[in-house]
Amino acid sequence: MPSQHISEELLLALKANKPYAQLVNDIAAIDRQALDAELNDDNKKKAFWINAYNSFFLILRKHQNIDKSKIYLDKLIDIAGQKMSLDDIEHGIIRKYRIKKSLGYLPNWFAASWIKKWAVDEIDYRIHFALNCGAVSCPPIAFYNSDHIDHQLETATYSFLESEVNINDQEKTAEISKLFFWYHGDFGGNSGIRQVIKKYLKRDISGYKISYAPYDFSEDLNNFM
């Protein structure tokens, strides 16, 4: 089975509450050179790693009940024989080795060589509407396929913004998700954020005051699209 299909099948098994242990073994046993050859463009990388991230978050938090403080930092995941953490996947691979708390502005030039090898070539801000951290305010979990991922990410972005952005034209304010603050640089700063909202919601908020909505960290481990 191709590597990207394994990560998708793992996520599907978790949604359906089916046995998933063999798929975890399969993803650990992937030949590293085969993975390198298969994930040869950003669409394939994003599909594989988004599905893997969302799968292993559910495994570690929902099924193994590991504390959140550990699942992001501890290397509890084995993919192609490489031990890694959720942060390695998100901030290292999917976000092209950005320093976690730099708001998306600083690369980590000291990232491990395997992270740099597997990382995407370009950061795609839409991934922030695809990764799920088990909180109520997180985007829902969907299943990504490299052949359709551009359309899927467009849909996920539009859906999230439509439900999470509150614009008051009378007061000229826009309340948006805290994701835009935490990953400010990924979105291109304030001007980039305004362009994203204009693109997807067809609303021009030039001159509007932007604020960030409180993030609801209450746990929701079954938020599938």
Token reading at 175: 């309340």
Give residue limits of the domains in the chain.
Answer: 3-123
What pLDDT, on a 0 to 100 scale, did the predictor assign at position 8? 94
pLDDT of res. 61:
96
Give the residue among 149, 128, 142 at the shortest CA–CA distance from 12: 142
Distance between first and last Cα of the chain? 25
d(CA 5, CA 51): 9
Global pTM reads 0.96
Cβ distance 161 to 195 under 8 Å?
Answer: no
Asked if 10 and 20 count as a contact pair (C-beta separation under 8 A), the reply is yes
CA 17 to chain CA centroid, Å, is 22
Can you give the pLDDT at residue 178?
Answer: 97
Q: What is the pLDDT of residue 222?
A: 86
Q: What is the pLDDT of residues 21-54, one digit of tens each?
A: 999 999 999 999 999 999 999 999 999 999 999 9
Tell me what pLDDT residue 68 has: 86
Tokens of 111: 């990232």
Task: Enumerate residue ranges in the chain where pLDDT < 50.
Answer: none
